[in-house]
């Protein structure tokens, strides 16, 4: 099983950025933990791309087709307005989990709406960095179940 993890704008600032909302772990901590789980527990491979640029994320989504079995994406603020990322995800049609560390529904109004949500398999919201671990477990289970 091969999974591509995508993190959008400002997520490179985790650990330093608004720690009262996003916690003290860095993105490197989270990705390192997920790679370990993937290799040692789930018998798969995890690749990670973080970018602050919409087009880089779109290119990475396109390139995932035929290489990865599924995607986990935290699109950051692009969640709320990037029809281009939504269309890219729809075009590759890979099983995809959308994740947000914070409970976006308890925050500003503009964070309540996701333009990505209608075309993903499911969402994990508000569980902090653990959300990435749940997303990985859920996605790998989904991929493995679809093979039997």
- Report in angstroms how near the CB of residue 65 gets to ligand DQA at its nearest: 24
121 has binding-site annotation: no
Structure tokens at 137: 């477990």
- Report in angstroms how near the CB of residue 47 gets to ligand DQA at its nearest: 20
Whole-Å CA distances, 108 to 81, 119, 137: 14, 23, 29
Are 68 and 97 contacting, i.e. CB atoms less than 8 angstroms apart? Answer: no
- Report in angstroms how near the CB of residue 59 gets to ligand DQA at its nearest: 20
87 has binding-site annotation: yes
38 has binding-site annotation: no
Residue closer to ligand DQA, measured from CB, 1 or 122: 122
- Measured in degrees and rounded to the nearest 5, phi and psi for residue 123 equal -125, 150
111 has binding-site annotation: yes
DSSP, collapsed to helix, strand or coil, labels residue 122 as strand
**Which residues are catalytic, by number?**
22, 100
Residue closer to ligand DQA, measured from CB, 77 or 117: 77
Nearest one of 2, 7, 5 to 68, comparing CA atoms? 2
Dihedral-angle region of residue 43 (phi above 0 means left; psi in -120 to 50 means alpha; beta otherwise): left
**Which residues contribute to the site for ligand DQA (CB under 6 A)?**
10, 74, 76-77, 79, 100-102, 104, 111
Structure tokens at 77: 């603020």
Residue closer to ligand DQA, measured from CB, 67 or 77: 77
What are the binding residues?
74, 80, 87, 101-102, 111
What are the binding residues for substrate?
74, 80, 87, 101-102, 111
């Amino acid at each position: 099983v091969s999974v591509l993890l995508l993190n959008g704008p400002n997520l490179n600032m985790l650990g330093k950025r608004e720690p009262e909302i996003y916690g003290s772990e860095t993105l490197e901590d989270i990705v390192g933990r997920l790679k370990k789980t993937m290799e040692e527990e789930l018998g798969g491979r995890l690749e990670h791309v973080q970018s602050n640029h919409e087009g880089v994320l779109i290119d990475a989504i396109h390139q995932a087709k035929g290489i990865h079995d599924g995607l986990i994406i935290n699109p950051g603020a692009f969640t709320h307005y990037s029809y281009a990322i939504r269309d890219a995800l729809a075009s590759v049609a890979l099983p995809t989990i959308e994740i947000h560390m914070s409970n976006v529904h308890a925050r500003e109004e503009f964070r309540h709406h996701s333009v990505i949500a209608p075309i993903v398999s499911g969402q994990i919201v508000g569980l902090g960095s653990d959300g990435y671990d749940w997303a990985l477990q859920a996605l790998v289970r989904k991929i493995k179940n679809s093979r039997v």
